[in-house]
Amino acid sequence: MKVKASSLAIALAVTAVSSAAWATTVRDEPITPIRPPQNINLGMAELGKKLYFDPRLSNSGFISCNSCHNLSRGGSDNLPTSIGDKWQEGPINSPTVLNSSLNVAQFWDGRAADLKEQAGGPIANPGEMAFSHVLAVGVLESIPAYVREFRQVFGMDTTIDIDQVTEAIAEFEKTLVTPNSRFDKWLMGQDDAINAIELAGYTLFKESGCVACHNGEAVGGNSFQRMGIVEPYHSTKEAEGRSAVTGKDADRFNFKVPTLRNVEMTYPYFHDGAANTLPEAVDIMGRLQLGRKFTDDENAKIVAFLKTLTGDQPSFQLPILPPSSDSTPRPKPFD
Ligand code: HEC
Ligand code: HEC
């Protein structure tokens, strides 16, 4: 397969760490460092990167995955809830795509098993990209450079289908991990990577019980938990959480625990985007999940710790999208 030497390939090579060295140097903590992505099909990821940035997968020709999961902004849109086709107000906050490959399942309620299954959702969602899989494939089929690239990646006799589209996007998303945060450097033995206040914040985070839900590589993303355990959470939004998938009343208001990686970049917080700042989110978590009111000083320490979780952001050349052909169906932004 022909693969262009891309900045992606170089980034992957530089961050590669042998697993033997890994095991011996990592501190024994409930949070583990982010590993560089493994076994990426680079040709497929490059194609997926184009699709991720291509607004022609939407009805308006204006909305791409990057519109709501902006890779210049921590993989989120920094809005309480997203804006979809025709400026529609979305029902729920857009989670970051960074490190989403580490999630136990996708979406706040986990209704998609993995990234490939997830990626088909927004294209056809009338409140998001408002297109259809058939129309999206039709657009791609009409663009000769895309046809060539799909053939390079999926085989010469291929005709483009939605499965390939979602597989390529998912492969690109697997590269969107953020290793090398200061906290990970500390986990890997570099004592001065975080300061005394940040370390005190981590100790509080651990000892007060935040790690019961926010742990592992993504500091979350690996379980569904009730929002509002000690005190109820009041939301103006209607999301019911995991019960929408399982049909069980006991799962009402259970949400996928969000990752806290890069959390300083992914405001506002919670599924309804109701908390604007980290001090506010930490205060609410302390009271509602743990029955603990943090002092301003404790809160500031935890926030300082959370900010050490910002890792290397994805860094690559912006993809140049192949131009439409004369036969490409034109976007319909206003009807
Ligand atoms: C109009 C805004 C919008 C667009 C466009 C959009 N998304 Fe999303 N995305 C969201 C929202 C909102 C959610 C959360 C929905 C939910 O949980 O019910 C989400 C969830 C996700 C998740 C799950 C993350 C997690 O932690 O659960 C991934 C991955 C994702 N989107 C990737 C994509 C990809 C890939 C595309 C392009 C094909 C895309 N999104 C297009 C708004 C958008
Ligand atoms: C019982 C499990 C649990 C515990 C304990 C817990 N959390 Fe959470 N945390 C969650 C869940 C679930 C959400 C998502 C809630 C929602 O969106 O409605 C969340 C959301 C957050 C968010 C917002 C992230 C985002 O992107 O929206 C932050 C910040 C956070 N927690 C920090 C903490 C801190 C700090 C502690 C300790 C004081 C803590 N959490 C304790 C389960 C927990």
- E-assigned strand segments in 30-90: 83-84, 88-89
Residue nearest to atom 11 of ligand 2 (CA): 257
Residue nearest to atom 12 of ligand 1 (CA): 94
DSSP, res 56: G
Q: How far is CA 327 from CA 141, 143, 145, 321, 324, in A?
A: 10, 8, 14, 17, 8
Is 46 one of the catalytic residues?
no
From ligand 2's centre to the CA of 92, what distance in Å?
16
Q: Which of 98, 234, 256, 257 to mutate to test the pocket of ligand 2 (most atoms within 8 A of CB)?
A: 257
> Angle at CA 132, nearest 5°, toward 126 and 136?
130
From ligand 2's centre to the CA of 285, what distance in Å?
6
What are the φ/ψ torsions at residue 112 (nearest 5 degrees)? -110, 135
From ligand 1's centre to the CA of 328, what distance in Å?
26
Given 128, 167, 198, 298, the catalytic residue: 128
Centroid of chain to Cα 98: 4
Q: Which of 49, 73, 82 to mutate to test the pocket of ligand 1 (most atoms within 8 A of CB)?
A: 82
DSSP, res 247: -
Which tokens is 232 given? 């109820």
Contacts by residues 271-276 (CB-CB < 8 Å, ≥ 24 positions apart): 271/92, 271/93, 271/108, 271/227, 271/235, 271/237, 271/239, 271/241, 272/80, 272/81, 272/92, 272/93, 272/235, 272/236, 272/237, 272/239, 273/79, 273/80, 273/81, 273/93, 274/80, 274/235, 274/236
Which tokens is 312 given? 């290397």
Residue 4 confidence (pLDDT): 44
pLDDT single digits (tens) 20-36: 556 568 999 999 999 99
Q: How far is CA 31 from CA 211, 213, 260, 294, in A?
A: 8, 11, 11, 22
Of 212, 223, 273, residue with least CA distance to 78: 273
From ligand 2's centre to the CA of 88, what distance in Å?
28
- Complete DSSP assignment for 257-275: PPP-TTGGGS-SBSTT--B
Element (H, E) at 225: strand 224-226
Residue 156 confidence (pLDDT): 87
Q: Which of 88, 128, 262 to mutate to test the pocket of ligand 1 (most atoms within 8 A of CB)?
A: 128
User: One digit per residue, pLDDT tens: the chain, 335 residues?
Assistant: 444 444 444 444 444 455 555 656 899 999 999 999 989 999 999 999 999 999 999 999 999 999 999 999 999 999 999 999 999 999 999 999 999 999 999 999 999 999 999 999 999 999 999 999 999 999 999 999 999 999 999 998 889 999 999 999 999 999 999 999 999 999 999 999 999 999 999 999 999 999 999 999 999 999 999 999 999 999 999 899 999 999 999 999 999 999 999 999 999 999 999 999 999 999 999 999 999 999 999 999 999 999 999 999 999 999 999 999 999 999 989 97
From ligand 1's centre to the CA of 260, what distance in Å?
17
- Looking at the CA of 234, name the nearest ligand: 2
CA 322 – CA 126 distance, rounded (Å): 26
Ligand 1 atom having least distance to the Cα of 97? 29
Residue 17 confidence (pLDDT): 52
Residue 24 confidence (pLDDT): 63
What are the φ/ψ torsions at residue 202 (nearest 5 degrees)? -65, -40
Q: Can you count the helices (H) and strands (E) in the chain?
A: 13, 4
Ligand 1 pocket by Cβ (under 6 Å): 63, 65, 67-69, 82, 84, 90, 92, 94-95, 97, 100, 103, 106-108, 115, 118-119, 122-123, 128-129, 169, 256
From ligand 2's centre to the CA of 287, what distance in Å?
11
Residues 23, 37: contact at Cβ < 8 Å? Answer: no
Element (H, E) at 256: strand 254-256
Work out the number of other CB atoms within 10 angstroms of the CB of residue 144: 11
Q: Which of 94, 115, 139 to mutate to test the pocket of ligand 1 (most atoms within 8 A of CB)?
A: 94
Residue 158 confidence (pLDDT): 86
Contacts of 157 (CB under 8 A, 6+ apart): none
Ligand 2 pocket by Cβ (under 6 Å): 205, 208-210, 212-214, 225, 227, 229, 255, 257-258, 260, 263, 266, 269-271, 281-282, 285-286, 289-290, 302
